[in-house]
């Protein structure tokens, strides 16, 4: 057992932190307020290898390990959670399934531009009536010669406003329930592909969340990912990996908020002494630091398991559940330590507090994680 | 900017959550020993408040009482993580037996091995490693979380130290062959006027009081000890005169890993009991595991356990990697760490951090284990309140883990001090 990062991982973390501080932080507040999708950031991140961290070099990626991927998402999210999830979706929910389930031809064609940040991907699974229960999706794909014709709509699609391609899940036979679900790589410039505008949300406001509508959208059959009926399996496997990214995002948000609170508690004077000299504040800080460390370890453990081709469904769900709920508590305490100032836009903690909330919801709510974990624990022998 | 250093893939990940084959083997062996030799009498010994002499004797023969003593002195020379795994497995079956073992290893063998002179080590450690019990005397009636206020004195007379005073809550009192005892040697020097000694259980002027009646851990022995002109040879001083508080704090930094491991073992068992009961117990026509409120509670217990175990194992690895130098709640010197987590830690910082990591592990694991026992008992309904069900004993036993070897409140102070030192 060893929980020290390798020299390479430390170097990566330091480099990403510098990029985050110099490039991402200056715009974080602004894009949170305007909702502008930070396309330039994504392109720059891509040039640095951060859009396809774990994609092998032969497909144009950075060829790094899954723990390194967690470091990237944590460091970016530490300064801007919107930017963190943009990268997480492109890495975990688009590159990863293409790598795992794509044909050699698909990998050669699709991965390099995604990994280099020239193209942005999104993951289109959720529908108005199919959230935690994705098998209930209604989007259809009808075979027509060497094409499929897609009809339906998707909601809450991160990166949706700007994505150049979408990984779309649709049913080739609604009667088959989840066994009819099939995955397609769809180009956003296809006729019949429509996207909604920016949607204002409580947090991660610059992540390009929107609706996608497909109307007689024709997709060439060679852009089907995997076989017909394999889509549900692909979606579930992809979300297992995605949860590691969201856990890392939650750790980053919490770390950012913690650092703000630690600094503020040492500057702010009340009753003639810094807040940090009061035991109540010290105890908050101690609990925050301890929980952040625990969440980071669980995240790394899931990443380590994935990297080493062990089963990691349980570990990913535990990391996601623990880290997201931890981030909620930690950002709440960080805001509390800032008092009234924490409730204003003058300080960053209100943004961290809002941004943390979604980590308990997307890529499987806390309740879905508990279903996964309890199934696992109750049926382990 | 090159963010992707070119390295061979085998070297890429420094992170490794696997245990070594030796550690896996030891876990299996201790688990089997605990199930076969300890479990059968556990409930009865708890009811009768009876110390497991026979079991502890066998543990000595197996080398479990001198795990941290090097092989040269007859010990197992185990790393701290291996030791923590042994504590965890014992606690999973009997937390009282686990603390008997943990105290002997962590707060008696360890400070003697670390701070004793060569002669003292040669005299004492082989006995401890062979199975003689050890104990640790720091707490006094008026000095609990604030050990620097202790009043037991030691004065030098010729070639001897003469101790006077009393210590309370001493685990293994009356059973131990050797006691590490902390006493004031210079009343004018405050925190730096405290020294640590090794006292044999048969020293003249040494006496043991009546065993305490406790909420839990009833099969472990806890009693006060008294020093009345108690004489020990001059070379029984640990470290130098005035270093006693630092030695005590370093010892606690180290031993907290053992208590965290004890909490993890109890937590593990609370989960197993909850899972077993939820699968068997039928209400409303289905096993209660099929009710979502029950299943989700089990998911929470399991997730909290994973977090507690990760923090504990990390602290164990750090405790082995470097020496915690008494940078705890009683001392005010030493080096601090940066802000939380690996995010700001540099190379080698894990060693300097050992004290903070142990405090975090102990804090989190003990609080989590208490939550787990509470939840597991709740899942058992009325049965959980009955002595016939194991969870009722664990619920009592686990309670002390947030108190001894530093309360949760003291752990938070230790952690905060590291954080704020920047």
pTM of the shown model = 0.93
Which residues does residue B135 pair with via DSSP β-bridges, in sequence order? Answer: B179
Binned at pLDDT 50, 70 and 90, residue B350 comes out as low
Average pLDDT over chain A, rounded to whole? Answer: 97
Measure the CA–CA gap between A295 and A300, rounded to whole angstroms: 9
Q: What is the pLDDT of residues A266-292, one digit of tens each?
A: 999 999 999 999 999 999 999 999 999
Q: Which of B5, B298, B342 sits opposite A377 (nearest CB)?
A: B298
Is B15 within 8 Å of A266 when comparing Cβ atoms? no
B151 close contact with A: CB closer than 8 A? no
Residues A181, A170 contacting (CB under 8 angstroms): yes
Q: In B, residues 350-409, which contact A (CB 8 Å cutoff)?
A: 350, 360, 363-364, 409
Give the per-residue pLDDT at B353: 85
Cα-trace Rg, chain A: 21
Average pLDDT on A185-189 reads 98
- 3-state secondary structure string across B311-350: HHHHHHHHHHHCCCCCCCCCCCCCCCCCCCCHHHCCCCHH
Nearest 10 degrees: Cα torsion B89, B92, B98, B99: 130
Q: Are residues A157 and A196 in the same domain?
A: yes
Within its chain, how far is the Cα of B14 from the centroid? 28
Residue B323 has pLDDT above 50, yes or no: no
Q: What is the pLDDT of residues A30-80, one digit of tens each?
A: 999 999 999 999 999 999 999 999 999 999 999 999 999 999 999 999 999
A-B contacts (CB, under 8 Å)? 199
Q: Which of B303, B360, B416 sits opposite A283 (nearest CB)?
A: B416
Q: How many CA atoms lie within 13 A of A171 on its CB side?
A: 19
Average pLDDT on B363-375 reads 98
Which residue of B22, B300, B340, B418 is the best one to mutate when testing the A interface, meaning the one whose CB has the most A CBs within 10 A?
B340
Binned at pLDDT 50, 70 and 90, residue A229 comes out as very high
Residues B146, B174 contacting (CB under 8 angstroms): no
Give the per-residue pLDDT at A151: 98
pLDDT over 70, % of chain A: 100
Q: Which of A67, A84, A92, A64 minimizes the C-alpha distance to A19?
A: A84
Measure the CA–CA gap between B102 and B218, rounded to whole angstroms: 16
Give the per-residue pLDDT at A53: 97
Q: Which structure tokens are listed for A151?
A: 């009809």
Domain residue limits, chain B: 20-133, 135-238, 244-331+348-421
Residue A249 has pLDDT above 50, yes or no: yes
Q: Are residues A102 and A197 in the same domain?
A: no
Q: What is the pLDDT of residues B133-143, one digit of tens each?
A: 999 999 999 99
Q: Are residues A94 and A126 in the same domain?
A: no
Q: Which of A16, A18, A108 minimizes the C-alpha distance to A56?
A: A108
Measure the CA–CA gap between B200 and B154, rounded to whole angstroms: 15
Q: Are residues A224 and A253 in the same domain?
A: no
Q: Which structure tokens are listed for B238?
A: 């640990």
Q: Which of A63, A255, A377 sits opposite B299 (nearest CB)?
A: A377
Give the per-residue pLDDT at B2: 40
Average pLDDT on B306-327 reads 81
Is A304 within 8 Å of B5 when comparing Cβ atoms? no
Give the per-residue pLDDT at A356: 98
Residue A1 falls inside a structural domain: no
Q: Which of A75, A286, A301 sits opposite B416 (nearest CB)?
A: A286
Q: Which of B14, B303, B411 sits opposite A322 (nearest CB)?
A: B303
Give the per-residue pLDDT at B14: 81
- 3-state secondary structure string across chain A: CECCCCHHHHHHHHHHHHHHHHHHHHHHHHHHHHCCCCHHHHHHHHHCCCCCCCCCHHHCCCCCCHHHHHHHHHHHHHHCHHHHHHHHHHHHHHHHHHHHHCCHHHHHHHHHHHHCCCCCEEEECCECCECCCHHHCCCEEEEECCEEEEEEEEEEECCCCCCCEEEEEEECCHHHHHHHEEEEEEECCCCCEEECCCCCCCCCCCCCCEEEEEEEEEEEHHHEECCCCCHHHHHHHHHHHHHHHHHHHHHHHHHHHHHHHHHHHHHCEECCEEHHHCHHHHHHHHHHHHHHHHHHHHHHHHHHHHHCCCCCHHHHHHHHHHHHHHHHHHHHHHHHHHHHHHCCCCCCHHHHHHHHHHHHCCCCCHHHHHHHHHHHHHCCC
Residue A162 falls inside a structural domain: yes
Residue of B nearest to A8 (CA): B5
Angle at which helix B408-421 crosses helix A231-267, to 10 degrees, equals 80
Q: Are residues A197 and A322 in the same domain?
A: no
Binned at pLDDT 50, 70 and 90, residue B336 comes out as very low
Binned at pLDDT 50, 70 and 90, residue B340 comes out as very low
Residues from chain B contacting residue A262 (CB–CB below 8 Å): 339, 419-420
- For A191, other C-beta atoms within 10 Å of its C-beta total 9
- Residue B243 catalytic? no
Measure the CA–CA gap between B66 and B171, rounded to whole angstroms: 17
B215 close contact with A: CB closer than 8 A? no
Residue A31 sits in a domain whose CATH number is: 1.10.540.10
Residue of B nearest to A18 (CA): B1
Give the per-residue pLDDT at B337: 31
Tell me how many domains chain A contains: 3
B4 close contact with A: CB closer than 8 A? yes
Measure the CA–CA gap between B329 and B241, rounded to whole angstroms: 20
Angle at which helix B53-62 crosses helix B95-103, to 10 degrees, equals 50
Q: Are strands A165-171 and A121-124 parallel, antiparallel or unpaired?
A: parallel
Question: What b-and-e string marks burial along A167-185, b requiring 16 or more CB atoms within 10 Å of the CB?
Answer: bbbbbbeeeeebbbbbbbb
Binned at pLDDT 50, 70 and 90, residue B331 comes out as very low
Which residue of B5, B15, B272, B365 is the best one to mutate when testing the A interface, meaning the one whose CB has the most A CBs within 10 A?
B15
Q: What is the pLDDT of residues B235-251, one digit of tens each?
A: 999 999 999 999 999 99
Average pLDDT on B384-413 reads 97
Cα-trace Rg, chain B: 22
Q: What's chain A's length in residues?
A: 381
Q: Which of A82, A84, A74 minimizes the C-alpha distance to A259?
A: A74
Residue B349 has pLDDT above 70, yes or no: no
**Domain of A321, in residue numbers:** 233-378
Residues A116, A124 contacting (CB under 8 angstroms): no
Binned at pLDDT 50, 70 and 90, residue B5 comes out as very low
Residue A44 falls inside a structural domain: yes
Give the per-residue pLDDT at A318: 98
Residue B330 has pLDDT above 80, yes or no: no
| SS3 assignment, position B205 | coil
Is A373 within 8 Å of B317 when comparing Cβ atoms? no
Q: Are residues A12 and A81 in the same domain?
A: yes
Measure the CA–CA gap between A212 and A168, rounded to whole angstroms: 10
Nearest 10 degrees: Cα torsion A26, A27, A32, A33: 100
What is the nearest CA distance from B172 to chain A, expressed in angstroms?
31
**Phi, psi (5° rounding) for residue B360?**
-65, -45
Residues from chain A contacting residue B17 (CB–CB below 8 Å): 1, 3, 300-301, 304-305
Q: Are residues A126 and A115 in the same domain?
A: no
Residues B275, B288 contacting (CB under 8 angstroms): no
Q: Spot the catalytic one: A75, A260, A363, A367.
A: A363
Residue A2 falls inside a structural domain: no
The domain made up of B20-133 has a fold known as: Butyryl-Coa Dehydrogenase, subunit A; domain 1 (1.10.540)
Average pLDDT on B259-273 reads 98
Residues A55, A116 contacting (CB under 8 angstroms): no
Reported ipTM: 0.94
The domain made up of B135-238 has a fold known as: Butyryl-CoA Dehydrogenase, subunit A; domain 2 (2.40.110)
B285 close contact with A: CB closer than 8 A? no
Residue A275 falls inside a structural domain: yes
Give the per-residue pLDDT at B421: 87
Residue B344 has pLDDT above 60, yes or no: no
Is B314 within 8 Å of A3 when comparing Cβ atoms? yes
What is the nearest CA distance from A269 to chain B, expressed in angstroms?
15
Q: Which of B75, B77, B95 minimizes the C-alpha distance to B87?
A: B95
Residue A308 has pLDDT above 70, yes or no: yes
Residue A264 falls inside a structural domain: yes
Q: Are residues A208 and A249 in the same domain?
A: no
Q: Which of B81, B289, B303 sits opposite A378 (nearest CB)?
A: B289
H/E segment holding residue B200 = strand B194-200
Which residues does residue A212 pair with via DSSP β-bridges, in sequence order? Answer: A154, A195
pLDDT over 90, % of chain B: 88
Q: Which of B363, B369, B359 minimizes the C-alpha distance to B304?
A: B369
Q: Which structure tokens are listed for A206?
A: 């610059």
Give the per-residue pLDDT at B327: 43
Give the per-residue pLDDT at A189: 97
Residue B346 has pLDDT above 80, yes or no: no
What letter would DSSP give residue B19? P
Binned at pLDDT 50, 70 and 90, residue A251 comes out as very high
Kindly report the CATH number that applies to the domain delimited by B244-331+348-421: 1.20.140.10
Q: Are residues A205 and A256 in the same domain?
A: no
Residue A150 has pLDDT above 60, yes or no: yes
What is the nearest CA distance from B83 to chain A, expressed in angstroms?
14
Q: Which structure tokens are listed for A44?
A: 């720059």
Q: Are strands B178-184 and B194-200 parallel, antiparallel or unpaired?
A: antiparallel
- For B48, other C-beta atoms within 10 Å of its C-beta total 11
Q: What is the pLDDT of residues A335-364, one digit of tens each?
A: 999 999 999 999 999 999 999 999 999 999
Residue A163 sits in a domain whose CATH number is: 2.40.110.10
Give the per-residue pLDDT at B422: 67
């Amino acid at each position: 057992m060893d929980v020290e990062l390798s020299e390479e991982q430390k170097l990566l973390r330091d480099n990403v932190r510098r990029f985050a501080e110099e490039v991402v932080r200056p715009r974080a507040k602004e894009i949170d307020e305007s909702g502008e999708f930070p396309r330039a950031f994504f392109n720059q991140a891509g040039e640095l290898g951060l859009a396809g961290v774990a994609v092998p070099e032969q497909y144009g990626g950075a060829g790094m390990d899954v723990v390194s991927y967690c470091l990237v998402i944590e460091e970016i999210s530490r300064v801007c959670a919107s930017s963190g999830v943009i990268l997480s979706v492109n890495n975990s929910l688009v590159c990863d399934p293409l790598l795992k389930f794509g044909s050699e031809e698909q990998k050669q064609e699709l991965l390099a531009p995604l990994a280099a940040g020239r193209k942005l991907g999104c993951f289109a699974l959720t529908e108005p009536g199919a959230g935690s229960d994705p098998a209930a999706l209604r989007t259809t794909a009808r075979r027509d010669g060497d094409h499929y014709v897609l009809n339906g709509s998707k909601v809450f699609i991160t990166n949706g406003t700007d994505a150049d391609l979408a990984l779309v899940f649709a049913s080739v036979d609604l009667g088959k329930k989840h066994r009819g679900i099939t995955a397609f790589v769809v180009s956003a410039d296809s006729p019949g592909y429509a996207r909604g505008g920016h949607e204002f949300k409580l947090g991660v406001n610059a992540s390009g969340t929107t609706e996608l509508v497909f109307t007689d959208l024709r997709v060439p059959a060679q852009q089907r990912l995997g076989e017909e009926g394999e889509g549900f399996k692909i979606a579930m496997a992809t979300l297992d990996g995605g949860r590691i990214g969201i856990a890392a995002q939650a750790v980053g948000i919490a770390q950012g908020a913690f650092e703000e609170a630690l600094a503020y508690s040492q500057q702010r004077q009340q009753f003639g002494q810094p807040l940090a000299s009061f035991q109540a504040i010290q105890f908050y800080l101690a609990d925050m630091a301890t929980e952040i460390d625990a969440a980071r370890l669980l995240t790394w453990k899931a990443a380590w398991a994935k990297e080493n081709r062990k089963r990691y469904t349980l570990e990913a769900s535990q990391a996601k559940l623990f880290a997201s709920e931890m981030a909620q508590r930690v950002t709440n305490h960080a805001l509390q330590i800032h008092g009234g100032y924490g409730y204003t836009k003058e300080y960053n903690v209100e943004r961290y507090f809002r941004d943390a909330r979604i980590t308990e919801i997307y890529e499987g709510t806390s309740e879905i994680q508990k279903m996964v974990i309890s199934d696992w624990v109750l049926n382990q022998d | 900017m090159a963010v992707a250093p070119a390295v061979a893939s085998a070297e890429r990940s420094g992170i490794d959550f696997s245990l070594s084959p030796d550690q896996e083997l030891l876990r299996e062996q201790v688990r089997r020993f605990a199930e076969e030799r300890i479990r059968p009498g556990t409930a009865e010994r708890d009811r009768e408040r009876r110390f497991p002499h026979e079991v502890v004797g066998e543990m000595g023969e197996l080398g479990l009482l001198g795990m941290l003593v090097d092989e040269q002195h007859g010990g197992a020379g185990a790393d701290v993580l291996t030791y923590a795994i042994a504590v965890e497995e014992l606690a999973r079956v009997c937390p009282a037996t686990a603390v008997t073992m943990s105290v002997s290893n962590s707060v008696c063998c360890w400070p003697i091995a670390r701070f004793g002179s060569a002669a003292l080590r040669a005299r004492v450690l082989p006995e401890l490693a062979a199975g003689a019990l050890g104990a640790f005397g720091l707490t006094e009636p008026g000095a609990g979380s604030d050990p620097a206020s202790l009043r037991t004195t030691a004065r030098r007379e010729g070639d001897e130290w003469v101790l006077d005073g009393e210590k309370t809550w001493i685990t293994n009192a009356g059973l131990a062959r050797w006691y590490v005892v902390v006493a004031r040697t210079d009343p004018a020097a405050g925190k730096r006027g405290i020294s640590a000694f090794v006292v044999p259980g048969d020293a003249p002027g040494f006496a043991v009081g009546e065993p305490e009646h406790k909420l839990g851990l009833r099969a472990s022995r806890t009693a006060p000890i008294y020093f009345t002109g108690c004489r020990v040879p001059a070379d029984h001083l640990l470290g130098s005169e005035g270093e006693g508080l630092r030695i005590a704090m370093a010892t606690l930094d180290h031993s907290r890993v053992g208590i965290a491991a004890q909490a993890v073992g109890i937590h593990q068992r609370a989960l197993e009991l909850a899972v077993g009961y939820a699968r068997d117990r039928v209400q409303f026509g289905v096993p209660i595991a099929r009710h979502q409120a029950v299943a989700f509670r089990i998911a929470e217990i399991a997730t909290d356990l994973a977090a507690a175990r990760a923090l504990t194992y990390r602290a164990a690895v750090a405790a082995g990697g470097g020496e915690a130098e008494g940078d705890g709640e009683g001392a005010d010197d030493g080096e601090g760490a940066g802000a939380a987590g690996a995010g700001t830690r540099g190379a080698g910082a894990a060693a300097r951090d050992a004290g903070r990591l142990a405090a975090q592990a102990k804090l989190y694991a003990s609080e989590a284990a208490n939550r787990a026992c509470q939840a597991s008992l709740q899942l058992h309904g009325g049965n959980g309140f009955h002595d016939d069900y194991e969870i009722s004993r664990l619920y009592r036993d686990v309670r002390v883990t947030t108190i001894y070897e530093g309360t949760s409140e003291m752990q938070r102070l230790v952690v905060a001090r590291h954080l704020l030192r920047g």
